[in-house]
Amino acid sequence: MKRVLFTPGPTEVPSEVLEAMAKPLIHHRTDEYRQYFLEATRLMQEHLATTQPVLTLSCSGSGAMEAAVVNLMSAGDEAIVVEGGKFGERWGLIAQAYGLTVHTVSVEWGRVATVEEVESALAAHPRAKVMFVTHSETSTGALFPVHDMARVARARGVATVVDAVTTFGVYDLHFDRSDVDGLVWGSQKGMMIPPGLGFVCLSPRGWDLVKGSKLPKYYWNLAKAKSALEKGDTPFTPAISLVLAARAAMLLLTEEGRDQVFARHQRNGDATRKAVRALGLSLFAEVPSNTLTAVHVPQGVDGAAVLKTMEQRYGVKIAGGQDRLKGKIFRLGHIGYYDEGDILRLVGAFEASLIDHGASAQPGAGVRAAQESFRSSRPSAAARVG
Amino acid sequence: MKRVLFTPGPTEVPSEVLEAMAKPLIHHRTDEYRQYFLEATRLMQEHLATTQPVLTLSCSGSGAMEAAVVNLMSAGDEAIVVEGGKFGERWGLIAQAYGLTVHTVSVEWGRVATVEEVESALAAHPRAKVMFVTHSETSTGALFPVHDMARVARARGVATVVDAVTTFGVYDLHFDRSDVDGLVWGSQKGMMIPPGLGFVCLSPRGWDLVKGSKLPKYYWNLAKAKSALEKGDTPFTPAISLVLAARAAMLLLTEEGRDQVFARHQRNGDATRKAVRALGLSLFAEVPSNTLTAVHVPQGVDGAAVLKTMEQRYGVKIAGGQDRLKGKIFRLGHIGYYDEGDILRLVGAFEASLIDHGASAQPGAGVRAAQESFRSSRPSAAARVG
């Protein structure tokens, strides 16, 4: 049965990427592979507007998060963790696993921390070395003002590391122009390839912290990864087929143009949010992200049944809530390889399934709102993915 | 240009595996994925003859090695590392990175440590908790008697962890009948899939050590991976396409039959070694493994030129020596998806390239020896891969 992923990761994989993985495997210690690997790296740098090395690790996004922690910190160091969801909490769990002293800025799930809250924490903990934050919290769909947070942190001499797992390829992260000192992300979101690669990019200030870090590391040794990259290598055998997939995907994103990619995500997010509101539903996140739209399950509707119908009748797979939000929200993902038609499919299936399960929404209202949103926001020369 | 990998990892990937990776991606939190993941896990357990959980990590084989170290040990613990090559050395480097006291049993590259040498080290270091050994040393092609070593270690209350990165799918590891307490391996060798997955299997004794381990860990937390596996899950987003590839590959190995797989590797190794000797060349390893055949570059022959000709003229990619063996040996890999015709291609290309570069071998001698080896060792009902 046909099933399109509208989950906030993994996301839909373009056929060009699937084809890259389906070719006979090549060896990684060859000029051919090195050329592909360095091209993928260069395109990621261009996408991030950075001249800093982008390091490719064979792991999930959480592995890249751990790599950032163990390369920047030493045992006993103090860290500030800003969290309002499952993935913000993860920063704290990793930091605690390595014996760091963690000061948490915690906001209710769905809310975002403000720059003022972060400023207070920075003032209260003058010995903090690094602040770990989540850009778009995948469990709630909330977008944190990480660039503003990084600005106030830098003013106090604190480095900021951003979990951009779901925002790479969605938002302009303009790394070198920002005050962010570390970015981590994964492959199965805006990069439009399957999971299995994690990425880390550090600022010169970030690399200075690496020099002083004393936490134990071997597989996550970023200094080694940086040296190896200079020769087109990795310290360990890379996930070759995924690196070739990354190159294929970055070529697609580059061909579309980075501004167009970000604008398309904005339009897809706008259209989805307008559709949801037109159905009489309310958004969960205080500041909704263009990565995913989290929606309260309406009273009297069986959320799990809606998910099942969407998938089995309409071939559209979205996500429900995680942990404490289980059964309470829908998460409609629109990260990556989606065009207007895809969003109409998503919204159409969502609307139909809600009505199938007794919601009082007006049939067609969601899809009409999405269409209108696209019509009013369409760029003069229509830009399409791929 | 057509190029067949005869490198000791990555190895050739069957078309059934490439096809599994080329299908539209499915989500990992679904019954469909869980069923595939659990099937791959069960087939790996059957292949290892174990009832213990096989844990799948998204990383390279080195990541799985690190996972074994950080889950079994605590800072200050003593470990014995048996090494005679680049990958044996790696155990020591990982252990040192985590502050362990390492006692090394070191043998010249190409040699294998004896059970007696290991016994002496065990006697000299009664506080050692774990012994880390390499089954087949990929840098030299030497096969270490790990099962005998594990027996003497267990007799002294020391656990043995085996790097089986290249021997899974090549040798019968019969885990539950052995005295080995930990096995680690990677995906891009005998499992016949691309790199990007690492695997760990621990004995009940190994799991007892996990309980006492105090080294910091988050991504490598095997206790969490074990709990998640019971529900068909992983603690972090898995490399989905590679897990589906692992299932496809394990189905192929199961269909062929484990004894047939091991016997085929024995025949392929025998034929390659006989061909090499018939060409007047000498083997590098004291006890050559069925994973790869390491061969001294003959005097007066430019090894790098032979490698290049093999690849560019005959479409056969083998490996040269690593580190201190650079330029000194050829490494002919025969791990995984190779049948008799493949080995004749390998040997034929090797022979031809050597002669092209002035070696004094008799044309046809290597291929004839391989043919004779296959003819004399062929099982009554010819078993073929796939």
User: Between chains, do B99 and A12 touch, taking CB under 8 Å as contact?
Assistant: no
- Check whether residue B242 and residue B299 sit in a common domain: no
- Check whether residue A284 and residue A355 sit in a common domain: yes
Find the closest chain B residue to A240 by CA distance. B195
Q: Does A236 touch chain B (CB under 8 A)?
A: yes
- Mean pLDDT in chain B? 96
Last residue of a domain, one of A220, A255, A290: A255
pLDDT band, very low/low/confident/very high, at B379 (cuts 50, 70, 90): confident
Write out the H or E segment, with its range, that includes residue A78. strand A78-83
- Check whether residue A183 and residue A87 sit in a common domain: yes
User: What does the pLDDT read at residue B384?
Assistant: 53
Answer whether residue B383 shows pLDDT above 90: no
Does residue A191 sit within a domain?
yes
Q: Spell out which residues of chain B touch residue A56, defining contact as CB-CB under 8 Å.
A: none
CA pseudo-torsion sign B176, B179, B181, B184: negative
Query: Which position has the token pair 């014995």?
Result: B80
Best of B6, B58, B96 to substitute, by most chain A Cβ atoms within 10 angstroms, is: B58
Beta-bridge partner residues of B88: none
Q: Prior bond to A10 cis, omega within 30?
A: yes
Q: Spell out which residues of chain B touch residue A139, defining contact as CB-CB under 8 Å.
A: none
Contact B64, B199 (CB under 8 A): yes
Answer whether residue A199 shows pLDDT above 80: yes
Please tell me the distance from the alpha carbon of residue B44 to that of residue B67, in angstroms, as a whole number: 19
- State residue B35 phi and psi, 5-degree precision: -65, -45
Best of B12, B219, B222, B311 to substitute, by most chain A Cβ atoms within 10 angstroms, is: B219
Choose the closest CB to B7 out of A27, A93, A99. Answer: A27
E strands in B84-189: 101-106, 128-134, 136-137, 142-143, 159-163, 182-186
- State residue B206 phi and psi, 5-degree precision: -60, -45
Q: Does A240 touch chain B (CB under 8 A)?
A: yes
- Check whether residue A230 and residue A81 sit in a common domain: yes
User: What does the pLDDT read at residue B213?
Assistant: 98
- Check whether residue A219 and residue A269 sit in a common domain: no
CATH of the domain at A311: 3.90.1150.10
User: What does the pLDDT read at residue A1?
Assistant: 77
Structure tokens at B238: 């898995």
Domain count, chain B: 2
User: What does the pLDDT read at residue A386?
Assistant: 46
Contact A159, A140 (CB under 8 A): no
Over residues B88-128, the pLDDT tens digits come to 999 999 999 999 999 999 999 999 999 999 999 999 999 99
Does residue B67 sit within a domain?
yes
Please tell me the distance from the alpha carbon of residue B191 to that of residue A203, in angstroms, as a whole number: 39
Please tell me the distance from the alpha carbon of residue A218 to that of residue B121, in angstroms, as a whole number: 26
What does the DSSP 8-state code read for residue B85? S
Does residue A343 sit within a domain?
yes
Answer whether residue A324 shows pLDDT above 90: yes
- Chain B: give the shortest CA distance to residue A180, in Å: 24
Last residue of a domain, one of B220, B255, B290: B255
Answer whether residue B1 shows pLDDT above 90: no
Show Cβ contacts of residue B208 under 8 Å, excluding neighbours closer than 6 positions: none
Does residue A179 sit within a domain?
yes
Kindly state the average pLDDT of the residues B234-247.
98
Q: C-alpha A127: how far from its chain's center?
A: 29
Over residues A67-82, the pLDDT tens digits come to 999 999 999 999 999 9
pLDDT band, very low/low/confident/very high, at B350 (cuts 50, 70, 90): very high
User: What does the pLDDT read at residue B23?
Assistant: 96
Query: Which position has the token pair 């070191």?
Result: B106
Does residue B6 sit within a domain?
no
Q: Spell out which residues of chain B touch residue A317, defining contact as CB-CB under 8 Å.
A: 27, 30
Please tell me the distance from the alpha carbon of residue B54 to that of residue A9, in angstroms, as a whole number: 25
Structure tokens at B47: 């292949």
Q: What percent of chain B has pLDDT over 90?
A: 97
Reduced 3-state DSSP string for A242-290? HHHHHHHHHHHHHHHCHHHHHHHHHHHHHHHHHHHHHCCCCECCCCECC
Q: Spell out which residues of chain A touch residue B13, defining contact as CB-CB under 8 Å.
A: 24-25
- State residue A159 phi and psi, 5-degree precision: -80, 150
Please tell me the distance from the alpha carbon of residue B89 to that of residue A228, in angstroms, as a whole number: 19
Please tell me the distance from the alpha carbon of residue B48 to that of residue B40, in angstroms, as a whole number: 12
Over residues A88-134, the pLDDT tens digits come to 999 999 999 999 999 999 999 999 999 999 999 999 999 999 999 99
What would you report as the CA-atom Rg of chain B, rounded to the nearest whole angstrom? 21
Kindly state the average pLDDT of the residues A370-379.
92
- Check whether residue B89 and residue B56 sit in a common domain: yes
Q: Does B189 touch chain A (CB under 8 A)?
A: no
CA distances from A108 to A83, A113, A335, B160, B269 (A): 9, 9, 24, 47, 62
Decide: helix, strand or coil at residue A142.
strand
Decide: helix, strand or coil at residue B382.
coil
CATH of the domain at A113: 3.40.640.10
Answer whether residue A154 shows pLDDT above 70: yes
User: Between chains, do B218 and A98 touch, taking CB under 8 Å as contact?
Assistant: yes
Q: Spell out which residues of chain B touch residue A30, defining contact as CB-CB under 8 Å.
A: 317
User: Between chains, do B241 and A3 touch, taking CB under 8 Å as contact?
Assistant: no
- Chain B: give the shortest CA distance to residue A16, in Å: 10
Answer whether residue A55 shows pLDDT above 60: yes
Contact A369, A361 (CB under 8 A): no
Q: Does B61 touch chain A (CB under 8 A)?
A: yes
3-state helix, strand, coil in chain A (%, to 5): 45, 15, 40
The half-sphere exposure of A27 on its side-chain side, counting CA atoms within 13 A, is 19
User: Between chains, do A195 and B26 touch, taking CB under 8 Å as contact?
Assistant: no
Choose the closest CB to B218 out of A12, A23, A93. Answer: A93
Best of A30, A94, A241 to substitute, by most chain B Cβ atoms within 10 angstroms, is: A241
B 201-230 residues inside an 8 A Cβ radius of A: 215-219
- Check whether residue B331 and residue B205 sit in a common domain: no
User: Between chains, do A21 and B18 touch, taking CB under 8 Å as contact?
Assistant: yes
Does residue A1 sit within a domain?
no
Does residue B4 sit within a domain?
no
Find the closest chain B residue to A308 by CA distance. B30
Burial class (CB in 10 A: 0-12, 13-18, 19+), B146: buried
pLDDT band, very low/low/confident/very high, at A380 (cuts 50, 70, 90): low
Best of B236, B311, B337 to substitute, by most chain A Cβ atoms within 10 angstroms, is: B236
- Chain B: give the shortest CA distance to residue A90, in Å: 10
- Chain B: give the shortest CA distance to residue A279, in Å: 27
Please tell me the distance from the alpha carbon of residue B117 to that of residue B112, in angstroms, as a whole number: 10
- Chain A: give the shortest CA distance to residue B372, in Å: 30
Structure tokens at A130: 């690094």
Decide: helix, strand or coil at residue B2.
coil
User: Between chains, do A218 and B97 touch, taking CB under 8 Å as contact?
Assistant: yes
Nearest partner of B306 among B294, B322, B319, B293, judged by Cα: B319
- Chain A: give the shortest CA distance to residue B342, in Å: 15
Show Cβ contacts of residue A2 under 8 Å, excluding neighbours closer than 6 positions: A315
Please tell me the distance from the alpha carbon of residue B369 to that of residue A312, in angstroms, as a whole number: 59
CA distances from B215 to A311, B73, B75 (A): 43, 6, 6
State the residue range of the domain holding A143. 15-255
Answer whether residue A253 shows pLDDT above 90: yes
**How many inter-chain contacts (A to B, CB under 8 Å) are there?**
164
Decide: helix, strand or coil at residue A211.
helix
- Chain B: give the shortest CA distance to residue A3, in Å: 8
Q: Does A238 touch chain B (CB under 8 A)?
A: yes
Does residue A2 sit within a domain?
no
Q: Spell out which residues of chain A touch residue B29, defining contact as CB-CB under 8 Å.
A: 319
Please tell me the distance from the alpha carbon of residue B229 to that of residue B39, in angstroms, as a whole number: 12
Query: Could you count the other beta carbons within 10 Å of the beta carbon of residue A78?
Result: 17
- Check whether residue A294 and residue A370 sit in a common domain: yes
Find the closest chain B residue to A235 by CA distance. B62
Q: Does B13 touch chain A (CB under 8 A)?
A: yes
Please tell me the distance from the alpha carbon of residue B165 to that of residue B62, in angstroms, as a whole number: 9
User: Between chains, do B27 and A10 touch, taking CB under 8 Å as contact?
Assistant: yes
Taking each helix axis from N to C terminus, what angle separates B340-356 and B303-314, rounded to the nearest 10 degrees?
130
pTM: 0.96
Find the closest chain B residue to A322 by CA distance. B29
The half-sphere exposure of A265 on its side-chain side, counting CA atoms within 13 A, is 28
Choose the closest CB to A239 out of B23, B195, B218. Answer: B195
Show Cβ contacts of residue A156 under 8 Å, excluding neighbours closer than 6 positions: A122, A123, A126
- Check whether residue B251 and residue B275 sit in a common domain: no
Structure tokens at B220: 């490598």
Decide: helix, strand or coil at residue A49.
coil
Q: Does A321 touch chain B (CB under 8 A)?
A: no
Q: Report the length, in residues, of chain B.
A: 386
A362 — alpha (psi -120 to 50), left (phi > 0) or beta? Answer: beta
Best of B5, B237, B317 to substitute, by most chain A Cβ atoms within 10 angstroms, is: B237
Show Cβ contacts of residue A211 under 8 Å, excluding neighbours closer than 6 positions: none
Show Cβ contacts of residue B20 under 8 Å, excluding neighbours closer than 6 positions: B241, B244, B245, B247, B248
- Check whether residue A52 and residue A76 sit in a common domain: yes
Contact B46, B91 (CB under 8 A): no
pLDDT band, very low/low/confident/very high, at A384 (cuts 50, 70, 90): low
- Chain B: give the shortest CA distance to residue A308, in Å: 11
User: Between chains, do B12 and A25 touch, taking CB under 8 Å as contact?
Assistant: yes
Last residue of a domain, one of A255, A282, A309: A255
User: Between chains, do B217 and A97 touch, taking CB under 8 Å as contact?
Assistant: yes
Contact A104, A155 (CB under 8 A): no
User: What does the pLDDT read at residue B386?
Assistant: 47
- Mean pLDDT in chain A? 96
The half-sphere exposure of B211 on its side-chain side, counting CA atoms within 13 A, is 6
User: Between chains, do A13 and B25 touch, taking CB under 8 Å as contact?
Assistant: yes
Q: Spell out which residues of chain A touch residue B317, defining contact as CB-CB under 8 Å.
A: 27, 30
Measured CA angle at A351 (ends A364, A359), to 5 deg: 105
Nearest partner of A329 among A11, A10, A109, A113, judged by Cα: A109
- Chain B: give the shortest CA distance to residue A236, in Å: 7
- Check whether residue B85 and residue B134 sit in a common domain: yes
Over residues B181-234, the pLDDT tens digits come to 999 999 999 999 999 999 999 999 999 999 999 999 999 999 999 999 999 999
DSSP assignment string, B286-300? SSB-SSEEEEEPPTT
- Check whether residue B134 and residue B204 sit in a common domain: yes
